[in-house]
Structure 1
Amino acid sequence: MKLVANITNYVFDGKFKSLSRFSLVGISNTLIDFIVFTIFQGLIGVNYTLSQVLGYSFGVVNSFIFNKKWTFQGGKSNKKIYHELFQFIIVNIMSLAITLIFMKLLIKDFNFNVYVAKVVVTFIAQITNFIAYKLWVFN
């Protein structure tokens, strides 16, 4: 049991603190995103583009709160919260645009299933967001 506690402390409070915490927050964001996406696209029948925007938006709210408070612990900068929020929104608008472009490309040009395309673009967004949050938003 002590070994598990030591590993957990090393991963979440040690060298990989930001990345591991970002990953956990990302999992919760992704779950929220997929649930909202599925409700709108699969159950209600809303177009996948609008469903992507809605799902992504719900995940973004969760992401800002938990990445600011836990993953990057408010950052070490003297930035005001509205400045961080503005940067966060810019990053996520760019990330959303990237996901919409790739989603359309995968579905229309490569005949991917809408949910498979959703998984692929989610990974693309995660990589983009982690780099931008760490280097620009919460630095």
Structure 2
Amino acid sequence: MLEVIKFGLVGILNTGITMVVYNILIFFGVNYIVANAIGYVAGVANSYIWNKNWVFNAKDKKDNSLIFKFIVVNVISFAVNSGVLILCENYITKNKTIAQLPAIIMGMAVNYILNKIWTFKK
């Protein structure tokens, strides 16, 4: 249970980073999909460090293998996030910030499950 709480705390930090970058880029007129990708990458960089060293305590694992798996998981999570974002923005709300919220929740769930069972598997 502590691991899930730690993942949630890191997720909150990642989400904050992602949302700040995303909203700054939206403010400057960047396309919301491009802004989402850039914001997501910023959050992922932070996520790798915290998840490896604190959440899943995988300090002893080889970085190359972990980085590859982490990138694959985050590409999948990003695809889920982007799909939900597009659906929400097109069919639920035109507010791009509100549309991002369910996208983050879905992407985060996929991310945790895949990292738990594959990337940082003990």
List per-residue Cα deviations over 1:9-40 (Å, max 9, x = no partner).
xxxxxxx2210100110010000000000110
Q: Partners in 2 of 1:127 and 1:102 — Cα distance? A: 13
Larger Rg: 1
1:71 paired to 2:55 = yes
Runs of 4+ in 1 over 2 A off after TM superposition: 109-112
Measured in 1, the distance between the counterparts of 2:31 and 2:86 equals: 12
Length, aligned pairs only: 121
Aligned letter for 2:32? Answer: Y
Q: Give the Å deviation of 1:112.
A: 4.2
Matched, 1:118 2:100: yes
CA distance in 2, matches of 1:20, 1:99: 21
Alignment of 1:27-42 (within 5 A): 27-42=12-27
For 2:24 and 2:9, locate their aligned partners in 1 and report how far apart those are by CA, in whole Å.
23
Q: Structure 1: which 5+ runs fail to align?
A: 1-15
Normalised by the length of structure 1, the TM-score is 0.82
Where does 1:1-139 land on structure 2 (aligned, <5 Å)? 16-42=1-27, 44-74=28-58, 79-139=61-121
In structure 2, runs of 5+ residues without a counterpart are: none
The Cα offsets for residues 100-131 of structure 1, whole Å up to 9 and x where unpaired, read as 11111111133342111101100001111111
TM-score (norm 2): 0.93
Provide Cα deviations, 1:44-90, integer angstroms capped at 9, x if missing partner.
Answer: 11010000000000000000000000001117xx7421111100000
